[in-house]
Amino acid sequence: MIIDKLIDKIIEKQNPSAVGLDTCLAYLPLDMQSSIKNGNDVCNSIFEFNKRIIDKIYDIVPAVKVQIAYYEQYGLYGLEAFKKTLDYAKSKDLIVISDVKRNDIGSTAECYSKAYLGGVNINGFDINDFESDFVTVNGYLGSDGINPFLDDCKNNDKGIFILVKTSNVSSFEIQDRQLRSGERIYEIMGYYVSKWGKEFIGKYGYSSIGAVVGATQPQQAIVLRTENPSSFFLIPGYGMQGGKASDIANSFDARGLGGIVNSSRKILCAYKSDKYSKLSFDDAAREAALEMKEDLTSALNAAGKTMLKKKLKGV
């Protein structure tokens, strides 16, 4: 099951983090930026940047999270770079999380699911350009918008992370509203994630149907971790957005498992910081990724949540 593969890799690398390849042109070194003359150069430069980062981090991190919005802004050229990035990350045996936050009614959600988790077959040939291990999904439309993804998760051994409590400052406006029944909206969403994920629970007790819970939301993370023991968390918001490793430990269980923490800009743009200014962008990214790993594992240890050292055998 894909969630087991992800957790196996986290344990193998003793690193519960993902590198976020949210690559926009402003993150590239100036010489790379200035040589861009047309759309094809946009595609090639972004892919070259990502490839060099992947080459320097694939042995130390279990997964990459690729935020499609950064590619979509560059139209078809950007989306070609997105596809090439996914393909290259898969060739390096990384777990690929496509952060797409797609959502729609059932028949349309089915198309989105095919785009990322299933592919289509037409007269005997396949199109599966954006195949990913996991995608993020927005659950505001309810079950019939989620079911097509669940079908593909089952048929193709894929996973999804559903937005529950997001990392941004105004996430409280809708998500923290309290219902007559007492719960907050994010708790209701968490409840549905658990419900939708029941048939996808793997050997570690976690489901391939997980939840997005921002690193900036430590109090809500305690609630959600308690109420949803089998939901694995995708945790954005570490680093530039202000999420601290000590807070993130709230999302983990006593085995040091339960979530994967994403950092994007702090890794991609590490070479712009004073600390790493003497390094190339890819070497700086590796150092920043190692620093993040150390920060997270220290915080887990300090919280008495030292990570399992050995993978569970397949069950």
| Interatomic CA distance for residues 71 and 67, integer angstroms | 8
Collect all residues with Cβ–Cβ distance below 8 Å to 266 and sequence separation of at least 6: 238, 239, 240, 288, 292
11, 66, 234, 235, 251 from 258: Cα distances, Å: 11, 20, 9, 10, 6
From candidates 40, 91, 111, 199, binder to a second copy by CB under 8 A: 111
Identify residues 196-235 at the interface with a second copy (CB under 8 A): none
Identify residues 77-106 at the interface with a second copy (CB under 8 A): 77-80, 83, 101-106
Please check whether residue 71 is in contact with residue 82, taking contact to mean a CB–CB distance below 8 angstroms.
yes
101 classed as catalytic: yes
Identify residues 12-71 at the interface with a second copy (CB under 8 A): 22, 24-25, 33-34, 36-39, 42, 67, 69-70
User: Quick one: 135 or 288, whose CB is closer to a second copy?
Assistant: 135
Tokens of 15: 């690193």
Query: Least Å distance between CB 179 and a second copy?
Result: 5
Told to check if 314 binds a second copy by CB under 8 A, we report: no
Name the active-site residue from 90, 92, 101, 244: 101
From candidates 167, 220, 250, 263, binder to a second copy by CB under 8 A: 167
Tokens of 22: 């949210």
Query: Least Å distance between CB 155 and a second copy?
Result: 15
Told to check if 163 binds a second copy by CB under 8 A, we report: yes
| Interatomic CA distance for residues 68 and 81, integer angstroms | 10
From candidates 175, 220, 251, 263, binder to a second copy by CB under 8 A: 175
From candidates 13, 48, 138, 290, binder to a second copy by CB under 8 A: 138
Handedness of CA 78, 137, 243, 304 (dihedral sign): negative
Q: Helix 106-113 vs helix 143-156: angle between axes, to the nearest 10 degrees?
A: 30
Query: Least Å distance between CB 106 and a second copy?
Result: 6
Positions annotated as catalytic residues are 101
